[in-house]
Chains A and B, each alone.
Chain A
Amino acid sequence: MDSLTWLGALAPFFGPAFGIGAAALGLALVVQFIAGVFAPHHKPQTRDDGTLRQRADIFGRLDRLPGLIFAGLVALMLAFAGISLVVGHESGGIMGGMIQRFLPVWIALIATFGLSIRFKRRLGLYGKLFDSTIGMIGFGLVMFWVFTALFVGLFDLIGTHDPLAQVSGLKNAPPGVPVPADEAAFPTYLLGGDNLARDIFSRMVEGSVVVMMIAPLATLFAFMVGITLGLPAGYYGGTLDTVLSFAANLILAFPVILLFYLLVTPEIIATGLPTFMAMVLFVFPLVFLGVLIHARFRNRAGQSRAILALVLGPLVLLYLSVVNQAGTPVDFWPLDFFDIPGGILVVFVAVVFVNSPTVFRIVRGLTLDIKTRDYVAAAQTRGERPWYIMLWEILPNARGPLIVDFCLRIGYTTILLGTLGFFGLGLPPESPDWGSTINEGRKLLMIYAHPALPPALALLSLVLGLNLMADGLREESLKD
């Protein structure tokens, strides 16, 4: 069997079509940009029915040109994707094969978008995301990887081969190389083989699981820590604020990579330091939830205790099982349900530790601003307790900037995870996460460029999606 080409049997038509389309779009964008800088200022005019009149001069036409070409290009891509979904890699080439492998993701994406756009008026801030093109593109990119991680992690769908299986003879093989028939069910390595003759495509989609498992959760934990410490620091001020701010600035003054090298080495892991840090950092979500519930239901003691027991009981058990790791210095709890596999806990702790001071500073700043508002003064006059005011008056009113920052910070956490992988810290070397695979690939980058590119572009697209989504959210939330 021959190697696959990028577009397969569809290449004679789609190859030139894509080329011309992309070149035309690039040219149109450049022309439009240059014209935009020199164009005379244009005042939009409304028609009688209230809609905007289109700009009629040459600049108006130049303005609309890239949009038209882009629409054409999208139509072309959709046609290619539609054909590929049917024919797959056999005549759609590498691209066709990949599009077909992602079939469950496409279905899930279409369903999500369809439902969300249909009901967007009833979905609050999430629904507003679908009013902005940038926001939708970002959301699409993010959900693409979320669904990929779900389908790969839960149902083992998209990947074509075992991400750790090696097929002899396919070391550093180029994209589209055929796999010997008896070796595996799928006949090609779509994106080629890596340095150890493993399938790059399968490793890339498998890597999304690692990222999706760690990044959002670590960001959430960093937010819990930052909020639990930042609210009182901003609200009370004084010594507490001075001490906490000094500590936060201390951590922020460390170059991140130095901190990683100090915290995430096998020697430090042997001392149990990361596990102790996990013990401290993982308490914060419990404290946060406990105080949150107690502040709300303080006046109804029985109900408060019931809800607290209901929520905190399982969480404490979970906390103890997470923190307690057999074979480390922290091994005291008999009811240990599970151990977190090698390196993940350490990486998680390091990322939370690096992120929380920034969140702390943001929350502190927002609290300083919001605590001067009238509704806080009203609550104080009503005799509400400080923690009630912080968690149920100030925090909800700070949610806008915090949600936007949460999106951005997941992206930043993804970058940090990649950095760890890039320096070979934390996760085991055979781990398929994107940072580690980039690190593997870069060693032979000058000879074989193809193994490093797919994980790099995957990471880029996810972070880009998160940033675009944050931008869309910010714009839409400012419109109110």
Chain B
Amino acid sequence: MGVFILRRAGVMLLTALCLTFIVFWLTNLQPNLEKLAKTQGNMRMTDAQVASWLDERGYNRNVLVKYGEWLGVLPGHVSTGRDGETRARCADGGAVTAETATFCGVLQGDWGYSTVFRDEVARILGERGWQTAKLMFFVMLVMVPGALVIGVLAGMNEGSRTDRSLSTVSILSTATPEYVSGVVFIAVFATAAFNMQWFKGTATSAMDNITFENFTLPVLTVALYGMGYIARMTRAAMTEVMTAQYIRTARLKGVGFRSIVLRHALRNALIAPFTVIMLQFPWLLNGVVIVETLFNYKGFGWTLVQAAGNNDIELLLGVSVVSVFVVLATQLISDIGYVFLNPRIRMS
């Protein structure tokens, strides 16, 4: 088990390195840098000015060197520009003093400086991540029990009317991407068009103060898309369990249907959905980006859009590190959890 986790951790680290390098390389392509210079400096800069702006800030160097600096394995860039001012990567745009560190990368705990929000990346990620964590918490609270109940109800009696209607509902929910359900929800429940103005169409106020009125629609929108998929997986697991030998034995023994479902079948049927729920996290991340943009809820996904739209390199890298970490960690947890839940599988 220990070796397995170590090996997985190694693969995770390698994946994270590759991914961040790809993001780093793409954001550091010349046209992107020129756009960055123009948005940060001045839209009417000449080509020569752009070149010197990038030069002074150390953008015009080998991408591997810059990546090393971001990681913190190479000393940060220091240079004196044509205007006589000394700029250092580690000074975050401020004056260079004797205390300015030589190394300032992720390894030193310095996630860099966001050019859009003019703030430390670590602080932005913390704040925005907390907002998204709140959203995710409520989404899980709605999605997981809902999906499990639908799946178990549908799967305990395969082929029945209940099964067919619930399966159709779950197909409908997987066919509704967040930007469709969100738009429909807002149009129906937040505008005057249908006379059902029960909720708010924006969740900006939910950042400080979550109420039923401003948080229902975003949570429902994210939860709905994932719910159908988990429900279908639960249904599949449940139908499989219900045809197992030991269930038949219990039936022949004269155990009541309710007791068979709750006592005998449920535990074994919930192993597969656990994995699926864990693997849903990457998808949820997508949903979160769409919903936060649609409802103007300034969380992690909203930050991703802002960072990507403005080529805010270090913020974008921070965002990708966090999201990649979430994806890989949930994969690991799902593998380990699967072993604990299912005693028939042993790690070799």
Instruction: Give the interface of A toward B (CB within 8 A).
Output: 29, 32-33, 36-37, 41, 63, 134, 246, 249-250, 252-258, 261-263, 265, 267-268, 270-271, 273, 411, 415, 418-419, 422-423, 435, 438, 441-442, 445-447, 449-450, 452-453, 456-457, 459-460, 463-464, 466-468, 471
Give the residues in chain A near B255, CB-CB below 8 Å.
Answer: none
Sample of 8 further A-B pairs with CB below 8 A, known A423-B305, A442-B186: A33-B161, A250-B15, A253-B15, A253-B324, A445-B186, A449-B193, A452-B187, A453-B184
Instruction: Give the interface of B toward A (CB within 8 A).
Output: 11, 14-15, 18-19, 23, 26-27, 29-32, 34-35, 153, 157, 160-162, 165, 167-168, 171-172, 174-177, 179-180, 183-184, 186-187, 190-191, 193, 201-202, 257, 282, 285-286, 289-290, 293-294, 301, 304-305, 308-309, 311, 316, 319-320, 323-324, 327-328
A-B contact pairs, 14 of them (CB 8 A): A257-B304, A261-B304, A419-B286, A423-B293, A442-B179, A442-B294, A446-B190, A449-B191, A449-B193, A452-B183, A452-B187, A463-B176, A463-B177, A464-B175
Give the residues in chain A near B304, CB-CB below 8 Å.
Answer: 255, 257-258, 261
Judge whether B191 and A253 touch: CB under 8 Å.
Answer: no
Return the chain B residue nearest A462 by Cβ. Answer: B175
Q: State how many angstroms separate the Cβ of B153 from the closest Cβ of chain A.
A: 7
Cα distance, A463 to B180, chains bound together (Å):
11
Known contacts A37-B162, A253-B327, A442-B294; is-contact A456 B183 (Cβ 8 Å): yes
Give the residues in chain B near A411, CB-CB below 8 Å.
Answer: 175
Return the chain A residue nearest B308 by Cβ. Answer: A261
Give the residues in chain A near B327, CB-CB below 8 Å.
Answer: 253, 255
Q: Is the interface of A mostly helix, strand, loop or mixed?
A: helix
Judge whether B177 and A261 touch: CB under 8 Å.
Answer: no
Return the chain A residue nearest B328 by Cβ. Answer: A253
Judge whether B190 and A254 touch: CB under 8 Å.
Answer: no
Give the residues in chain B near A254, CB-CB below 8 Å.
Answer: 19, 320, 324
Known contacts A250-B15, A255-B286; is-contact A262 B308 (Cβ 8 Å): yes
Q: State how many angstroms separate the Cβ of B232 from the closest Cβ of chain A.
A: 9
Judge whether B290 and A467 touch: CB under 8 Å.
Answer: no
Judge whether B171 and A445 touch: CB under 8 Å.
Answer: no
Q: State how many angstroms separate the Cβ of A179 from the closest Cβ of chain B.
A: 22
Give the residues in chain B near A250, CB-CB below 8 Å.
Answer: 15, 18-19
Cα distance, A471 to B257, chains bound together (Å):
28
Cα distance, A464 to B181, chains bound together (Å):
13
Q: State how many angstroms separate the Cβ of A461 from the closest Cβ of chain B.
A: 9
Judge whether A255 and B23 touch: CB under 8 Å.
Answer: no
Give the residues in chain A near B168, CB-CB below 8 Å.
Answer: 134, 468
Judge whether A445 and B183 touch: CB under 8 Å.
Answer: yes
Return the chain A residue nearest B201 by Cβ. Answer: A446
Q: State how many angstroms separate the Cβ of A227 from the closest Cβ of chain B.
A: 23
Return the chain B residue nearest A261 by Cβ. Answer: B308
Return the chain A residue nearest B319 by Cβ. Answer: A258
Judge whether A418 and B286 touch: CB under 8 Å.
Answer: no
Give the residues in chain B near A41, CB-CB below 8 Å.
Answer: 157, 257
Judge whether A271 and B179 touch: CB under 8 Å.
Answer: no
Judge whether B19 and A471 touch: CB under 8 Å.
Answer: no
Judge whether B179 and A261 touch: CB under 8 Å.
Answer: no
Q: State how many angstroms separate the Cβ of B321 from the closest Cβ of chain A.
A: 11
Judge whether B186 and A438 touch: CB under 8 Å.
Answer: no
Judge whether B319 and A253 touch: CB under 8 Å.
Answer: no
Give the residues in chain B near A468, CB-CB below 8 Å.
Answer: 168, 171
Give the residues in chain B near A63, CB-CB below 8 Å.
Answer: 161
Give the residues in chain B near A255, CB-CB below 8 Å.
Answer: 282, 285-286, 289, 304, 320, 323, 327
Judge whether B30 and A29 touch: CB under 8 Å.
Answer: no
Return the chain B residue nearest A415 by Cβ. Answer: B177
Judge whether B35 and A267 touch: CB under 8 Å.
Answer: yes
Cα distance, A263 to B23, chains bound together (Å):
10
Judge whether A253 and B19 touch: CB under 8 Å.
Answer: yes
Q: State how many angstroms separate the Cβ of A288 from the closest Cβ of chain B.
A: 26
Judge whether A267 and B311 touch: CB under 8 Å.
Answer: yes
Judge whether A438 and B187 touch: CB under 8 Å.
Answer: no
Judge whether A37 and B153 touch: CB under 8 Å.
Answer: yes
Give the residues in chain A near B293, CB-CB below 8 Å.
Answer: 422-423
Contact of A36 among B160, B193, B290, B308 (CB under 8 A): B160
